[in-house]
């Protein structure tokens, strides 16, 4: 939890990873992928928060626990898997199984999400159900641009995706996190387009679609979808670090999101280990829309910051929030 000026902020980091991008687990595409991550991290972080490249490729469990919980103010962290086996043929990049080993040691600190890919057909549905029961899944992370052989991605509006969305409804996996953000080499930019969220959210009103990275660089498209689909949420991973490198751009992003979606449907995320939560939390609590932009966007209240930093995610995942941080919790 973070405390500032007499206010307590319950922090849920909605997007963390425990990846393995070491040379013995990657091919040339995997090398390019992690280098692209590292370039994002280096360009948008304060200099003192940039790791050596070798550590960035494969950090330790101790690094993860220290950066999230010991110094990063995080109360709960949500593991979002990204398999990418075509790029990381050893054990995959960031799998549910790899994350589960850590979550099992620290059950009070992590929420473990699963993943699925509709190109896996009937066998994928069987595996999803098996993992849902084994891990008690409440959410999944989808990577619509992931390569599978000759296939360069899929859409949630594709017919093959609907049995998986139906299975999620059946199993009570209601939080559907979908990567819809900046492209990462060598993936195709258009495979992250947000348009398929529109149809899926309409057809599955009982599911919540958390659009990770708020659709950047398609923020306007995402906002127009989000305003008409009440079960669409915005995950702020990738958007958050602009608070340091381009604060006026960050003000525009968060201002648009607050205008269109409102403060109850935005979720903080660090995208660890691309960025560490400590400096993001500190800067966000201190942040305010610049005065010359307030005529259009208004200001960000303390209550809105508390919701975004953790209370909204706590509502989605039925987390118990300490009394000192409950006053702004959605529904109270």
Residue 73 pLDDT greater than 50, yes or no: yes
In this structure, the number of other CB atoms found within 10 A of the CB of residue 71 comes to 11
Averaged pLDDT for residues 225-246: 97
Collapsing DSSP to helix, strand or coil, 11 comes out as coil
pLDDT at 37: 96
Distance CA 277, CA 309 (A): 11
In tens, the pLDDT along 258-286 reads 999 999 999 999 999 999 999 999 999 99
State residue 327's pLDDT score: 66
Query: For the chain, where are the E strands, in sequence order?
Result: 2-4, 7-9, 12-16, 76-79, 110-112, 139-142, 175-179, 208-212, 232-235, 266-267
- Give me the percent of the chain exceeding a pLDDT of 90: 95
The reported pLDDT for the residue numbered 324 is: 84
pLDDT surpassing 70 at residue 330: no
**Closest CA relative to residue 233, chosen from 303, 156, 315:** 315
In the predicted structure, residue 328 carries a pLDDT above the cut 50: no
Delineate the domains of the chain, giving CATH numbers in brackets: 7-317 (3.20.20.140)
Is residue 218 classed as helix, strand or coil in its secondary structure? coil
- Tokens representing 104 are 């099992």
Q: What is the pLDDT of residues 278-327, one digit of tens each?
A: 999 999 999 999 999 999 999 999 999 999 999 999 999 999 999 888 86
Indicate the pLDDT class of residue 152, thresholds 50, 70 and 90.
Answer: very high
CA triple 159-164-166, angle to 5 deg: 95
By C-alpha distance, which of 304, 323, 324, 316 is closest to 12? 316
Beta bridge partners of 142: 178
- pLDDT of 245 above 60: yes
Average pLDDT over residues 222-249: 97
Is residue 331 predicted with pLDDT exceeding 90?
Answer: no
pLDDT over 70 at 329, yes or no: no
Q: pLDDT of 16-55, one tens digit each? A: 999 999 999 999 999 999 999 999 999 999 999 999 999 9
């Amino acid at each position: 939890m973070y405390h500032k000026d007499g206010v307590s902020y319950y922090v849920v980091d909605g997007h963390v990873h425990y990846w393995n991008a070491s040379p013995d687990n990657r091919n040339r595409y995997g090398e390019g992928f992690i280098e692209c991550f590292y370039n994002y991290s280096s360009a948008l972080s304060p200099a003192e928060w940039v790791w050596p490249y070798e550590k960035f490729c494969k950090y330790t469990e101790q690094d993860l626990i220290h950066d999230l919980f010991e110094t990063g103010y995080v109360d709960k962290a949500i593991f979002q898997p990204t398999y990418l086996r075509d790029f990381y043929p050893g054990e995959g990049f960031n799998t549910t199984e790899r994350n589960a080993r850590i979550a099992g040691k620290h059950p009070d600190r992590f929420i473990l999400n699963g993943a699925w890919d509709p190109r896996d057909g009937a066998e994928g549905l069987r595996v999803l159900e098996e993992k849902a029961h084994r891990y008690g899944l409440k959410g999944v992370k989808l990577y619509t641009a992931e390569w599978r052989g000759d296939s360069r991605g899929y859409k949630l509006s594709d017919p093959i995706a609907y049995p998986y969305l139906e299975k999620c409804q059946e199993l009570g996996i209601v939080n559907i996190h979908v990567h819809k953000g900046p492209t990462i080499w060598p993936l195709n930019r258009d495979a992250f387009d947000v348009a398929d969220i529109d149809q899926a959210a309409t057809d599955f009103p009982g599911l919540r679609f958390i659009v990770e990275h708020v659709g950047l660089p398609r923020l306007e498209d995402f906002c127009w979808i989000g305003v008409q689909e009440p079960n669409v949420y915005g995950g702020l991973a990738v958007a958050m670090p602009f608070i340091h490198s381009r604060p006026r751009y960050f003000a525009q992003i968060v201002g648009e999101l607050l205008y269109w979606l409102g403060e109850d449907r935005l979720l903080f995320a660090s995208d660890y280990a691309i960025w560490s939560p400590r400096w993001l939390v500190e800067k966000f609590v201190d942040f305010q829309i610049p005065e010359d932009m307030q005529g259009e966007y208004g200001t960000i209240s303390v209550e809105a910051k508390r919701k975004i930093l953790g209370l909204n995610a706590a509502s989605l995942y039925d987390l118990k929030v300490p009394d000192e941080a409950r006053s702004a919790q959605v529904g109270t």
